[in-house]
Amino acid sequence: MGTYPAYTVAAAHVAPVFLDLEATVEKACSVIEEAARNGARLVAFPEAYIPAFPVWSALRAPIHNHDLFKRLAANAVRVPGPEVARISASARNSGIFVSIGINEGTEASVGCIWNANLLIGEDGSILNHHRKLVPTFFEKLIWANGDGAGLRVSETPLGRIGALICGENTNPLARFTLMAQGEQVHISTYPPSWPTKDPKEGGNYDLAAAIRVRAGAHSFEAKCFNIVASGFMDKPMLDALADLDKDAGRILDNSPRGVSMVIGPDAETVGDVISDSEGILYADIDLDACVEPKQFHDVVGSYNRFDIFKLTVDRSENRPVMFAAEDISRETGASRESYPEDPKPSSILEITG
């Protein structure tokens, strides 16, 4: 008989130390320790938290943003690397699971950056490493396409945990891939703001409303809990961005902010919601609540027709070069940079029922 744990989760609605890798990692470790002291078993950080979400790409033309891109690349995180080791040690010392968004760099290129998310266990091990499949809108000026290697749900003492980054939570097939692996706890990460128009023109993208729709839809369809962690812009970050252009500060001041919350399997909010202030949001969840709704609509079980619908997911890692003489033995689901390519062209997950 399965067990359904109940515990406290935390969404870190916090700002980075803008474009400062070391200081942001130090702040992340402090937040991890604080969340653990307050009884949380899992803490989720926002999208691209380390060292910042590149919102400047929405504020002025790319020909003016080369210096910011170089600063971001210089402060990108390597996986594995010393910064990840520090965060993993903090998780281990505090006995807490950590989901954290990073700008990930690579030894293969000085200018390639991925929008990535790490799930770290309470023992400090990396349980999953996911790169955002497709950067959204102006994000394409910054990030490379990810791959399917991180479309995994991790089996943990807290249940089966999965995560998607921002707009991926609008991708039905990515979401279904996690649902079909028995996901019980979903983590959704978002930026602090996502300007799409000058507010003077009206009709700007309502990030908070979009988050609520996506989070509620996934929770309701998967019958899972959804921890939503959005970023926050503190005054130093706002001031730095406002200095970019005469209109940048006004646009940011009048653009909708992100929102952090926890959603239950009935699509209802569990506990408080946080948007306009920095802080850590706590909520108590009980995975027993995921079971009963499966009787009504279990889209990865009795409420589907797998004889009609079939999904195949390619989990192979995208690499610029493969050296045939390398030792091809590897473990599954750990670091991309520390292991060579799979011996087969791809690792296929077939969801057929």
Residues marked as catalytic: 47, 132, 166
Q: Which residues contact 244 (CB under 8 A, 6 or more apart)?
A: 56, 59, 60, 64
Report residue 127 as tokens.
């349980």
**Edge-to-edge strands of the sheet including 97-106?**
126-131, 109-120, 97-106, 40-44, 6-13, 279-286
Cβ contact 218:258 at 8 Å = no
The answer to whether the peptide bond before residue 46 is cis (omega within 30 degrees of 0) is no
Distance CA 122, CA 117 (A): 16
Determine the Cα–Cα distance for residues 166 and 154; give it in Å rounded to an integer.
Answer: 19
Scanning the structure block, which residue is given the tokens 């070391």?
Answer: 22
Among all chains, which residue has been given the structure tokens 């300007």?
Answer: 195
What are the backbone dihedrals phi and psi of residue 53, each rounded to the nearest 5 degrees, phi first?
-80, 130
d(CA 178, CA 110): 32
Q: Are 118 and 335 a contacting pair, CB within 8 Å?
A: no
Q: Both tokens of residue 191?
A: 């930026």
Give buried/exposed letters for 20-53 (b at 16+ CB in 10 A, else e).
bbeebbebbbebbbebbeeebbbbbbbbbbbbbb
* Residue 281 · residue 11 · CB < 8 Å: yes
* Cβ proximity of 161 and 97 under 8 Å: yes
Q: Other C-beta atoms within 10 Å of 17: how many?
A: 19
Task: Determine if residue 19 is left, alpha or beta; phi over 0 gives left, psi from -120 to 50 gives alpha, anything else beta.
Answer: left
